[in-house]
A = this chain, B = another copy of it.
Amino acid sequence: MKGKITIVGLGPGNKSMMTQEVVNVIDNATDIIGYSTYIKRIKPSKNLNLYSSDNRDEPQRAKDAINLALEGKNVVVISSGDPGVFAMASVVFETIDNGPDLWHEIDIVVLPGVTAMLAAAARVGAPLGHDFCAINLSNNLKPWHLIEKRIRLSIECDFVIALYNPRSKSRPNEFRKTLDILRETCDDNRYILFAKSVFSDEENINIIQLKNAKEDMADMQTLVIIGSSLSKVIIRNKQDFFYTPRVSI
């Protein structure tokens, strides 16, 4: 089998946050496929074929990548952040797993990237400095009762909680219900980070206490980090720092 799939993470908004390996792979690519918003981050060139696709149809995008590989192409699949965290890598492997046996032997390389929670955390300090979890708040592929169970048990764990895809126009309710759970289970001075489009020109950072948090502070460009009971804020003249101490007794 001649073709190959390389699934890469572009990191957060800024090109300087890509790994050197990902930059090399993109610079030498002949065929790149991805969601149109991410394809726009790739510089077009004469010998480069760009395949832009709709965000909603990730399984079709995975099939397109597989077909290009079966044709002998060395195809690069791009995601923002890290491709293994709520992104294209698991879609590709799921599609291959459910496909014919021949597909199982396709060469696939995954190149990691800086996922959104690491980028958001870095912009304010070290809120992920102690045990944490990452929950995708979209209920497109799982029922709300499972999301609710995970949030409640994560609070019981006293995890720091990173919420991916917290809220969209078509899904306005999950984040509102999450805030309701927090108000029921946490002190109202619990800190929450709303980090929008980090490392890009549209970056917007807010560290808010639960009592002041509002549902419309989150959208699809926002990564939310809910501090643990021990997370602290250092008040400063400049942007405050937000961190979670390593010690918990």
Q: Give the B-binding residues of A (Cβ under 8 A).
A: 11-12, 14-21, 23-24, 82-86, 89-94, 96-97, 104-105, 107-108, 110-115, 118-119, 121-123, 125-136, 141-143, 146, 149-150, 153-154, 156-157, 159, 232, 234-238, 241, 243-249
Q: Judging by beta carbons under 8 Å apart, are B245 and A90 in contact? A: yes
Residues of B within 8 A of A21 (CB): 14, 16-17
Which residues of chain B are within 8 angstroms of A128 by Cβ–Cβ distance?
A: 84-85, 134
Q: Is the CB of B130 within 8 A of A133?
A: no
Residues of B within 8 A of A247 (CB): 141-142
Contact indicator A118/B84 (Cβ below 8 Å): yes
Interface of A is mostly: mixed
Chain B nearest CB from A137 CB (Å) reads 10
B136 touches A133 (CB 8 A): no
How near does chain B come to A165, taking the closest CB pair, in angstroms?
Answer: 12
Closest CB in chain B relative to A59 CB, distance in Å:
10
Given A131-B134, A133-B154, list of 11 further CB < 8 A pairs? A17-B19, A84-B128, A85-B118, A90-B125, A104-B236, A105-B238, A128-B134, A131-B150, A133-B159, A143-B249, A153-B156
Contact of A126 (CB < 8 Å), options: B15, B90, B122, B232: B90
| CA distance in complex: A92, B244 (Å) | 11
Q: Which residue of B lies closest to A91 (CB)?
A: B246
**Smallest CB-CB separation from A89: which chain B residue?**
B126
Partner of A97, one of B19, B85, B118, B234: B234
Return chain B residues, CB-CB under 8 Å to A96: 234, 241
Instruction: Check B246–A141 contact: CB distance below 8 A.
Output: yes
Contact B123 A110 (CB under 8 A): yes
- A90 lies within 8 A of B18 (CB): no
In angstroms, Cα B233 to Cα A248, docked, is 36
Residues of B within 8 A of A236 (CB): 104-105
Q: Which residue of B lies closest to A235 (CB)?
A: B104
Distance from A46 Cβ to chain B, minimum over Cβ atoms (Å): 24
Q: Which residues of B contact A156 (CB under 8 A)?
A: 153
